[in-house]
């Protein structure tokens, strides 16, 4: 069954109520003591110190750090796993009799991986070689809603994919009919819809980290620009935590981001998982196990939630 992220507010609210009632007697998420109180405010003050820098035009780049090599995500298997966390893959499903799309959601110290279509099952290395393969390039489909980067209008325009070449996967979009966009151009010219404002800044920051070399300074300014205005924005906190953890090696500030995100949304699965990985690498096994345990309980409740919804739907039919 596909893992369900806490994307929609109504689902998160319902899940929070379910988990809160069902976890009575369970250890509560760690809260800051009186001595730890300044942590969040210090983090926010640090973000506000950057206000002068990020208030400039977002396209300006007054000073990048020296060129950096591409950075891989934190890997607690130390290279043993054949795939990286959050890789998109194909899984050879025996029950369905075909290859299906999946995402790597967990990796352990032995290099075993877990995917979202077969939760709570760890694939050892031999099964990874046999049953899982890289996803590779995924072409757009006719009818998909996308955005096109228009040079004439200096904006991303909402549109649809109207034609796909079955051979080379070039596409045409509704705002630029009869003009083929080659695969090599699609990464820069076409994207799935992103809303203006905070979501746009977060998208830009993530894209900058994927460049070769990554534009880490500019990406950080964009994340902090969001957090100056909305200090509990989960996506910005996730992105900044990853940047601090993997590109800066600043585990202390990354932890502050994770803690702030969990105060706002205690059952955010990606935050719980990534924070737990970082703690495990640091040798903080007790906190890592607590975070992994909370993550397992969230998944269990999500499965119950989905199964209950499917049952209600069947009864309605």
Q: What is the pLDDT of residue 316?
A: 60
Predicted confidence at residue 306, as pLDDT, reads 72
The domain ranges of the chain are 88-134, 145-191
pLDDT, position 1:
39
pTM of the complete model: 0.76
Helix axes 269-281, 234-242, angle to 10 degrees: 20
- Residue by residue, pLDDT tens for the chain (317 residues) are 344 443 444 445 545 555 555 445 555 444 444 334 444 444 555 544 544 444 444 444 545 555 455 566 788 999 899 999 999 999 999 989 999 999 999 999 999 999 999 888 999 999 999 999 998 888 999 999 999 999 999 999 999 999 999 999 999 999 999 999 999 999 999 999 999 999 999 999 999 999 989 999 999 999 999 999 999 999 999 999 999 999 999 999 999 999 999 999 999 999 999 999 999 999 999 999 999 999 999 988 888 877 776 666 556 65
Long-range contacts of 274-278 (CB under 8 A, 24+ apart): 274/74, 274/238, 274/241, 274/242, 274/245, 275/241, 277/74, 277/76, 277/85, 277/107, 278/74, 278/245, 278/251, 278/254
What is the model's pLDDT at position 50? 46
Q: What is the DSSP string of 102-165?
A: EEEEEE-TTS-EEETTSTT--B-HHHHHHHEEE-------TT-EEEEEETTTTEEEEEEEEEE-
């Amino acid at each position: 069954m596909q893992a369900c992220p806490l994307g929609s507010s109504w689902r998160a609210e319902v899940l929070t109520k379910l988990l809160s009632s069902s976890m009575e007697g369970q250890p509560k998420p760690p809260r800051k003591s009186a001595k730890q109180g300044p942590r969040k405010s210090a983090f926010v003050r640090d973000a506000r110190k950057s206000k002068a820098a990020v208030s400039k035009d977002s396209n300006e780049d007054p000073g990048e750090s020296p060129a950096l090599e591409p950075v891989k995500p934190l890997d607690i298997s130390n290279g043993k796993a054949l795939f990286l966390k959050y890789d998109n893959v194909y899984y050879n499903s025996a029950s369905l009799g075909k290859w299906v799309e999946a995402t790597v959601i967990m990796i352990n110290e032995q290099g075993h991986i877990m995917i979202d279509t077969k939760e709570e099952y760890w694939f050892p290395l031999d099964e990874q070689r046999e049953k899982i393969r890289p996803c590779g390039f995924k072409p757009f489909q006719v009818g998909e809603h996308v955005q096109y980067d228009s040079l004439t209008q200096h904006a991303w325009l909402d549109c649809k994919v109207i034609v796909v070449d079955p051979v080379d996967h070039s596409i045409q979009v509704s705002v630029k009919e009869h003009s083929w966009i080659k695969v090599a151009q699609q990464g820069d010219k076409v994207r799935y819809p992103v809303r203006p404002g905070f979501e746009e800044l977060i998208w830009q920051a993530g894209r900058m980290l994927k460049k070769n070399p990554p534009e880490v300074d500019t990406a950080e300014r964009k994340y902090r620009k969001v957090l100056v205005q909305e200090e509990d924005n989960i996506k910005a906190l996730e992105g900044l935590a990853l940047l601090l953890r993997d590109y800066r090696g600043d585990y202390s500030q990354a932890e502050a981001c994770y803690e702030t995100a969990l105060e706002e949304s205690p059952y955010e699965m990606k935050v719980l998982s990534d924070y737990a990985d970082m703690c495990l690498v640091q040798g903080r096994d007790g906190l890592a196990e607590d975070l992994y345990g909370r993550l397992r309980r969230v998944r269990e409740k999500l499965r119950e939630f989905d199964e209950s919804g499917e049952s209600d739907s069947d009864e309605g039919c």
